[in-house]
Structure 1
Amino acid sequence: MSELIIKVERPRVEALLQPYKDSIGDDYLGYRNHVYRTITYAMHFLNNDQQFEQLVETAFVYHDIGLWTDHELAYLEPSEAVALRDNEKYGWGLDPELLQGAIHWHHKIFAYKGPHQKVIEACRKADWIDASKGMLRKGMAKSIIKKVEGTFPNHGFHDTLLRLAKEYGGSTLVGGIKVTRGIVKW
């Protein structure tokens, strides 16, 4: 892998998140930093190849957005729909199959094999690293994870996920089951 590059300013990410800031509300800073962490990890897995940056940034802005736009614990399809709609509406020209795949498979437990494997797998591993708070490293050095987490603090993001599971599911247990059934892919 290449040298770690941490971009603390990502104008595309800020522009894409802006229309959803009110929907995300008090959870905004935690989600924003989750997006920045996952982008950093994925781009590191992709050797910081700039041809993938716009797609990776876009996929991670939208990957969990359905939690707030649709108030759904099974948020993959709603998140994909919002991303695909905006891609078409604003004429970004991103490959819709790749954009949808990066969102759809980001919670896949086992390695993704299929079209666009390189990018989708980088995104999948990046999200697992951050979702597990670095307990699952997916080949990433602990020192890198610590540096990325230090640059983009959690701001309660993981607590937000537990709170939303309870709010949308009626209880943390029921919500956790709904989330697991709705987003985890084998």
Structure 2
Amino acid sequence: MAGIVIQQNRPRIEELLAPYAAQIGDDLPGYRNHVYRTVTYAMHFLGNSAELEQLVETAFVYRDIALWTDRALAYLEPSEEIALADNAKYGWGLDPDALKGAIHWHHKITAYRGPHEEVIEACRKADWIDANKGMLHMGMSKANIEAVEAAFPNHGFHDALIRLAKDNNVGSTVGGLIKVVMGIIKW
């Protein structure tokens, strides 16, 4: 694959994150950069399709949002509900099935096959790259991953996930991580 296009400022991401900034709190810089990294990877897989950009940006802003809004460890379904409600409320006109699918299947271990496959699979691969800090490349070059990570530093995002697993499970990190895995991993 060719070099990756890195956009340092995506107004839609900033606009969508703004209403949730207070709830995300100190985790916002890490979550924001996680969103930017994964959007960058997914858009690369999609050939930087302008047609899919709004959907991808929206799905990645909302896909983990319920970790903070609902303090939910099984956060996929609550995140989907928030995204679908905002899509309807603000009249974005995004395909609800594609939006829900991009959120619902982003932790799927095996390749996604089905409706909206191109965008859902790009989002799934993008999240896996970032979730394991680039150890699994999912077809992305190491140089591209390094460029994206340099542009959008982690800011403790992965540490925040471990903390949230503990905090949202009443003090047990191990129990919280088990609940997270049971609630979000899809086959």
Does the alignment reach a TM-score above 0.5?
yes
Q: Per-residue deviation at 1:3?
A: 3.8
Task: Tell whether the 8 Å contact from 1:2 to 1:47 is kept in structure 2 after alignment.
Answer: no
> Does 1:175 pair with 2:176?
yes
Match of 2:28 in 1: 28
Task: Tell whether the 8 Å contact from 1:80 to 1:103 is kept in structure 2 after alignment.
Answer: yes
> Does 1:46 pair with 2:46?
yes
Output one character per residue of 1:56-99: Cα deviation in whole Å (capped at 9) or x when no partner.
Answer: 00000001000000000000001000000000000000000000
**How many residues were matched structurally?**
186
Alignment partner of 1:176: what SS?
helix
Cα distance in structure 1, aligned partners of 2:3 and 2:179: 39
RMSD of aligned Cα (Å) = 0.7
Match of 1:157 in 2: 157
Q: Per-residue deviation at 1:2?
A: 4.7
Task: Tell whether the 8 Å contact from 2:3 to 2:144 is kept in structure 1 after alignment.
Answer: no
Alignment partner of 1:68: what SS?
helix
Q: Per-residue deviation at 1:172?
A: 1.1
Task: Tell whether the 8 Å contact from 2:30 to 2:154 is kept in structure 1 after alignment.
Answer: yes
Output one character per residue of 1:7-58: Cα deviation in whole Å (capped at 9) or x when no partner.
Answer: 0010000000000000000000000000000000000000111111000000
Match of 1:123 in 2: 123
Task: Tell whether the 8 Å contact from 1:33 to 1:152 is kept in structure 2 after alignment.
Answer: yes
Task: Tell whether the 8 Å contact from 1:74 to 1:183 is kept in structure 2 after alignment.
Answer: yes
Task: Tell whether the 8 Å contact from 2:55 to 2:94 is kept in structure 1 after alignment.
Answer: yes
Q: Which runs of 5+ in 2 are unaligned?
A: none
Q: How does 1:1-186 map onto structure 2 within 5 Å? A: 1-169=1-169, 170-186=171-187
Residue 108 of structure 1 aligns to which amino acid in structure 2?
A: K
Question: TM-score if structure 2 supplies the norm length?
Answer: 0.98
Task: Tell whether the 8 Å contact from 1:2 to 1:48 is kept in structure 2 after alignment.
Answer: no
Cα distance in structure 1, aligned partners of 2:70 and 2:56: 22
Cα distance in structure 1, aligned partners of 2:31 and 2:57: 13
Cα distance in structure 2, aligned partners of 1:151 and 1:78: 30
Residue 6 of structure 1 aligns to which amino acid in structure 2?
A: I
Task: Tell whether the 8 Å contact from 1:84 to 1:100 is kept in structure 2 after alignment.
Answer: yes
Give every structure 1 segment of 4 or more consecutive aligned residues whose post-TM-superposition deviation is greater than 2 Å: none
Output one character per residue of 1:110-154: Cα deviation in whole Å (capped at 9) or x when no partner.
Answer: 000000000000000000000000011101111100000000000
